[in-house]
Amino acid sequence: MMARITGLRGGFIPLIAVAIVLALLPVIGTPRAWLLYLYLFFIYLAMANMWNLLAGYGGLISLCQPAFIGLAGYTLAIFVWIGLPLYLSLVAGAVIAAIFAMLISLPVFRLRGIYFAIGTIIVPEILRIFFLMWRPVGGVLYGKGAGYAVKGATAVSAMETYWLALVIGAVSVLLIRFLLRSNMGLGLSAIRDNDRTAACCGINVFKLKLSIFVISAFVTGLAGAAFYISQGFIEPTSAFNVRWTMILMLATVIGGISIEEGPVLGSIIVVILHFLLARYSGASLLIQGVILVAIMLLAPQGIMGSIRRLRKRPAYQTILKAISRRKSSGKT
């Protein structure tokens, strides 16, 4: 037990050091464009980490993440309009997303495999249609639906939104690190390999899957609500858009699914793609889809998985031994 605690501390300290350095960037005059890139990276990283927890470690190919993002964003917008503080509304949005995940878990957890994915993909669409008919607080129905300005968002500086995104991204990394090194992580590994065998071994499969589903919804909703504070406006078509699902899948699959570092590398690449494909907005989703399919075919384990596999090859090990011998001979 003490060894596990010592290992956790050893893993957390470098992450905390990196987070402190990143937190100081706005203060030391880092260009605004770089802060924007990092802000998006933190948001995407938090969401991708949660999808990796579900799909990579829990075997739940959930396609309803846009539902949590949009629901948290709308909760934020509605709560600030009725007078709640902005950051309290932010947390409330994440809580509502988590409660919603608990409610839909009852029907969708009856489905398995591809049927679970199909069952979850319709959830954001149902919410999109619902919010298209929503009556704004204190206003009238606007034709195709309710668009909300997030009250008080304009008073939040770019530096504050950067720090907020940094905290959420860092918490997601630390949370994943903690969960995977706990008994929950061991249970998830067993469920991913074979959930029926895990159940026979005494693991409460439903409870464990429900736990990560709710945790994922909470953190994803938190990141989504933070995104809409920066945007200052939310509307149904973008909030419950399949684009969010594509971002999460791309970041996880490109970096490496079931690998802790995978979403980190994948989120960096997705942010780069976001700005490179901005001029091709009409075909952006199609291009991302092609990239996703290509990665799944050419490198199913992602970049980090391919690197790990390369390191295990005899030729690579031979090269490492040769380098170490040269270093040792140079010292002597």
Residue-by-residue pLDDT tens, the chain, 332 positions: 444 444 455 567 788 888 889 999 999 888 998 999 999 999 999 999 999 999 988 888 999 999 999 999 999 988 998 889 999 999 999 999 999 999 999 899 888 888 899 999 999 999 998 888 776 655 544 434 567 788 888 888 889 999 999 999 999 999 999 998 888 888 887 877 777 777 777 788 888 989 999 999 999 999 999 999 999 888 888 899 989 998 999 899 998 888 888 999 999 999 988 888 877 766 777 887 788 888 777 777 778 877 777 666 565 455 545 555 555 665 54
Q: Is residue 270 part of a domain?
A: no
Cα–Cα distance between 71 and 48 in angstroms, integer? 18
For 198, the token pair is: 């895990």
Domain membership flag for residue 206: yes
φ/ψ of 314, rounded to 5, equals -55, -40
Distance CA 116, CA 235 (A): 27
* The 3-state secondary structure of the chain, one letter per residue: CHHHHHHHHHHHHHHHHHHHHHHHCCCCCCCHHHHHHHHHHHHHHHHHHHHHHHHHHCCCCCCCHHHHHHHHHHHHHHHHHCCCCHHHHHHHHHHHHHHHHHHHHHHHCCCCCHHHHHHHHHHHHHHHHHHHCCCCCCCCCCCCCCCEECCCHHHCCHHHHHHHHHHHHHHHHHHHHHHHCCHHHHHHHHHHHCHHHHHHCCCCHHHHHHHHHHHHHHHHHHHHHHHHHHHCEECHHHHCCHHHHHHHHHHHHHHCCCCCCHHHHHHHHHHHHHHHCHHHCCCHHHHHHHHHHHHHHHCCCHHHHHHHHHHCCHHHHHHHHHHHHHHHHHHC
Asked if the structure places residue 288 within a domain, the reply is: no
60, part of any domain: yes
Q: Which range marks the domain in which residue 225 is found?
A: 2-240
Under 8 Å CB-to-CB from 211, ≥6 apart: which residues?
184
In one letter, which amino acid is 68?
F
Please give the tally of structural domains in the chain: 1
281 lies in a domain?
no
pLDDT (0 to 100) of residue 6? 47
Q: Which residue has the tokens 């933190």?
A: 42
Cα 175 to Cα 57: distance, rounded to the nearest angstrom: 14
Say whether pTM exceeds 0.75: yes
Residue 71 lies in a domain: yes
Supply the Cα-derived Rg of the chain in whole angstroms: 21
Q: How many CB atoms lie within 10 A of CB 71?
A: 29
* Domain presence at residue 251: no
- Tell me whether residue 260 is in a domain: no
* Spatial CA neighbour of 123 closest among 219, 205, 213: 213
Of the candidates 91, 93, 104, the residue with the CA atom closest to the CA atom of residue 69: 93
